[in-house]
Amino acid sequence: MTKKHLEHLFQSFEKKRVAVVGDVMLDKYIFGKVERISPEAPVPVIDVSSQSYRLGGAANVATNLRSLGATALLFGVIGDDDDGAILALQLHKEHLSADFLVTEHTRPTTAKTRVIAQNHHIVRIDSETRAPISSATERTILALLSEHLHTLDAIIFEDYNKGVLTATLIKKIIAMAKKHDIPITVDPKKDNFFEYKHATVFKPNLKEISDALGRKFSNSDSDATLACDMLQKKIKAKNIVLTRSEKGMTVFNGKAEHIPSMALEVADVSGAGDTVIATLTVALSAGLDITTAAKVANLAAGIVCAEVGAVAVDKQKLFSACTRYFSSAPTS
């Protein structure tokens, strides 16, 4: 792709409307220093220097979409608690709407607190439930989504097995999307792995595909191809994009293409999968073929892996990275 082609592509992102359906999370970060061990137990004492909040899970996917210029409609569930209020406030700060989040009074907002000292991750504290959402909440999400279905360019399922994406909800949304010819991309987890049949793109990582298929796959190209082929026979996805950590990713749609990792420096891989699914979906909806879209998403992952914590990809950095890459490498 030429620079002019890339400019047109990135400008077209701003016309895209993408729904994200799944598990929204609040990421809390506590930063400090460790200079002593507690006299009460053999554990480090953290002298806190600062705290911050970030959007995680499906909310981080929405943040990445917004950072790329697309309009993100976020559908999920929060609790009637302080974390839910903070999450809604963070969405507002990121120019995202909380209007499509359903409040369930019987469940907590999913929150993950990470304690970091001297750039080392000391501990993570999770507040959550994995219980399925109620049938009433399912109906509310479906009703909200159906109101906006005619405006959408794609739907992303962001599944962290926190109970929002039930088998019933998945099947009904897929049926709605198919009826309106809306592409579906999936970032799966183990519990619902085989519910997402006939998706446009199914994006597992190596551990997830190994766990789901009950077979340990190495990170070799041959094993990646075999894993994708076995999975394709089960879920009938149009495309499988297997993320492989330091080995990059494999794109499979009857044949495999292996794309090397673009990460030059890895500080933190948390949130990289969210960036990949968001970028991949926007790039596909903008007209790129699956392999080229995967390469753009791979570049985006390389950018966010250089940051500490889950952060959204910087659109200008991604454009620069794409300009360098596609000026020196073939697109297929």
Catalytic residue among 27, 83, 223, 274: 274
Residues in contact with 24: Cβ distance below 8 Å, sequence separation at least 6, in sequence order? 55, 56, 57, 58, 59, 74, 76, 77, 78, 87, 101, 109, 110, 164
**How far is Cα 297 from Cα 126, in angstroms, rounded to an integer?**
29
Give the separation between CA 240 and CA 143, rounded to whole angstroms.
Answer: 29
- Do 89 and 55 contact (CB within 8 A), yes or no? no
Query: Which single residue is written with the structure tokens 């019933």?
Result: 168
One-letter identity of residue 76: G
Q: Is 274 known to be catalytic?
A: yes
**Helical segments of the chain, H only:** 3-12, 58-68, 82-93, 135-148, 167-179, 206-213, 221-235, 272-285, 290-304, 315-328
Give which of 202, 196, 204, 147 is closest to 175, Cα–Cα: 196
Residues with catalytic function: 274
